[in-house]
Structure 1
Amino acid sequence: MDGLKLRNVGKTDLQLSALGLGCWQFSNGRGLIGGYWSSIAERGVSEIVKTTLDGGINWFDTAEIYGRGGSERTLANALSRLAVATDRVVIATKWWPLGRRAASIAQTFPERVKCLSPYPIALHQIHQPFSLASIPSQMREMARLYEQGLIRAVGVSNFSAAQMRVAYKALAGYGIPLASNQVKYSLLDRRIERNGVLDTARELGISIIAYSPLEQGILTGAFHRAPERLRTLRGARKLQVTAKRIETSRMLIDRLEEIAKKHDATASQVSLHALVTLHEEAVFAIPGASSVQQAQENAGALHLSLSDDERREIQEMSLRVSDNG
């Protein structure tokens, strides 16, 4: 598979590259969620965005909760500084539901538009299944945005198989397909293959968007090569990237690096390419990038050409070491 073509998201006409850029790290270190990452200078963000686009990635995923709109504004500012045409990029963002009712979707949408201006919102997503409102009422509000031509597609995030079915059925009542479910998924975390999420998504024609596809950096091999990096981690990331997980994943990382060497690539590129080709075109992924080098590596994953035997071996080894619980 020499170069991954654009794919339709679910049953929509929205065409995206198999990889997008996750923009959580553009939060400027603001807020409880945004503070997970250190701030990146304006020039650095622009360079990351330019490298991403030049590498063939055509979409960016952000969210209201990332720095309380900070990530959205930072992304839009970078695109504007680069004079990127509005029809050259696709923007996905998310409504934060915690403690809110469905009416909040319409009430907060103008702020999303303002933060991302002049770039339109193509894919609008429910960030978590934690709203005070029912899923059908949330889908009703999303349908109104769609019918007004304010968005091109509706998605959800972190929804279970059952919750996804409810959202799908509710949207279908308006003649609108549920485009996607954004969930945690990687070669080291394949729980959606066990809990019905992936099977349900494929049955209903809903795309999976994988976040944390590199497991917070574990699948890059950086911590295996330099375990002392573990001491530099902060916050919640320390709970996810542990010495135990580094050791249990070593066998997979070693093989990813061997395969990568044959293709003049990196372990992270092989990992990303394998993930978005495991299930034909059902899975997209949104790795982040805090540097130009990481952005180059992400985009390079689109252009690998792994053999069927290599993909099969990665699949089998991944299943042996992944979190399936």
Structure 2
Amino acid sequence: MVSRQLGRTGIPISPIGLGGSQFSGGGVSTFYGTLSQSQVDAVIATALDGGITWFDTAEGYGAGRSERSLATALSHAGRTPGDVTVSTKWTPFGRTARTIERTVSERISNLAPFPVDLHQIHTGFGSLSSIRAQAQAMARLVEAGTIRSVGVSNFSARQMEIAHKELSKHGIPLASNQVQINLLHRKIETNGVLETARGLGSTLIAYVPLRSGMLSGKFHANRNLAAALPRMRRMMAGISPRNLDRTAPLIDELRTIADKHQATVGQIALAWLITYYGDTVVATPGASKPHHAEEAAGAMKLTLTDEETERLADISTTVTR
């Protein structure tokens, strides 16, 4: 699959990127376990070999550890600035917009030698400053040449419009909004986010596109695997016996289509995501093992028929009611 453009920035990205929360070494990494640098290197190298060209991380992922691990792995893989696209995020909780400019040097240092191609506001709430002030701070960084583009994460449609309005005063587009999107979570279709993104020309970046592994089918096939997951992960992803029963028809259809394409269930779920919404939606699955990255990258090579895409959408709607 050909590369796409990040919003209206002109920055190229692969339809599937790689999320970096699992490289944090603490906090959110309790969902996945701590990875050594050699393990991170192996995951990143496999992703690159599979055609993934952009990588997403955040200040909040291990207080910069994910950023440093990612940059180290990219360098170990022989990549240099310009070879890949790198995005990160500023954490707003209990902080003012001024800290965006105060902490950007940490982002740059952690990711060196790779530039900050996309800097995102991690959530639309929790800051002591308005979204307008946050957008203005980000705009100043673009104007100074410190970062290349501005995005947001977990923003509502209205919050996207506010950020866009402030950025547009500086001639800067709102590149993206990173939100949860997957076959079991399609709220963008009803809460205005998809419509707003299309109107603004912004990209929607889907995180947890496999619903923390639920859409891989592995927990349906072996419920002992689900029972062995950390309790918090099961709760946040809704991985329970009841939900496994409820979503079984969708997994069955994914498996049927996967067999036809000689693919995995997870690959079909990712292929659906970057097909159904056109160029507006891209995805950043995580990968804690090389074969996870290989599988994610492989989804970009699949071409679903219109009938397959619509069939999955219909079943998805039924099981999530």
For the aligned pair, the TM-score class normalised by the smaller chain equals over 0.9
Contact residue 94 and residue 126 of structure 1 kept, 8 A: yes
- Report runs of 4+ in structure 1 exceeding 6 Å deviation: none
Residue identity matched to 1:252: L
Residue identity matched to 1:309: E
Q: Compute the displacement of 1:34 (Å).
A: 3.9
- TM-score, normalised with respect to structure 1: 0.96
Deviations 1:255-289 (A, max 9, x none): 10111011110010000010111121000110000
* RMSD, aligned α-carbons: 1.1
Q: Which residue does the alignment assign to 2:74?
A: 79
- TM-score, normalised with respect to structure 2: 0.97
Contact residue 9 and residue 180 of structure 1 kept, 8 A: yes
Q: Compute the displacement of 1:108 (Å).
A: 0.6
Q: Which residue does the alignment assign to 1:95?
A: 90
Contact residue 207 and residue 285 of structure 2 kept, 8 A: yes
Query: Which residue, 188, 192, 207 being the options, matches 1:211?
Result: 207
Query: Which residue, 192, 216, 220 being the options, matches 2:216?
Result: 220
- Aligned residue pair count: 318
Contact residue 34 and residue 65 of structure 1 kept, 8 A: no
Structure 2 matches for 1:70-219, cutoff 5 A?
70-129=65-124, 130-219=126-215
Query: Which residue, 269, 272, 292 being the options, matches 1:271?
Result: 269
What secondary structure, in the 3-state scheme, does the structure 2 residue paired with 1:121 have?
coil
Contact residue 22 and residue 288 of structure 2 kept, 8 A: yes
The answer to which of 79-88 and 46-55 deviates more is 79-88
Q: Compute the displacement of 1:235 (Å).
A: 4.2
Q: Which residue does the alignment assign to 1:280?
A: 278
Contact residue 123 and residue 153 of structure 2 kept, 8 A: yes
Query: Which residue, 248, 251, 255 being the options, matches 2:249?
Result: 251
Q: Which residue does the alignment assign to 2:54?
A: 59
Query: Which residue, 18, 22, 30 being the options, matches 1:21?
Result: 18
Structure 1 unaligned spans of 5+: none
Q: Compute the displacement of 1:246 (Å).
A: 1.3
Structure 2 unaligned spans of 5+: none
Q: Which residue does the alignment assign to 2:230?
A: 234
Residue identity matched to 1:201: A
Q: Distance in 1 between matches of 2:275 and 2:303?
A: 11
Q: Compute the displacement of 1:58 (Å).
A: 0.3
Deviations 1:5-56 (A, max 9, x none): 111111111110111000100011x2x3343331112222111101101111
Residue identity matched to 2:266: S
Q: Distance in 1 between matches of 2:187 and 2:121?
A: 21
Q: Compute the displacement of 1:204 (Å).
A: 1.4
Q: Which residue does the alignment assign to 2:303?
A: 305
Structure 2 matches for 1:37-48, cutoff 5 A?
37-48=32-43
Deviations 1:222-263 (A, max 9, x none): 000100112211142120222222111110001101110111
Contact residue 33 and residue 65 of structure 1 kept, 8 A: no
The answer to which of 41-50 and 261-270 deviates more is 41-50
* Paired-residue identity, %: 46
What secondary structure, in the 3-state scheme, does the structure 2 residue paired with 1:180 have?
strand
Q: Distance in 2 between matches of 1:8 and 1:165?
A: 20
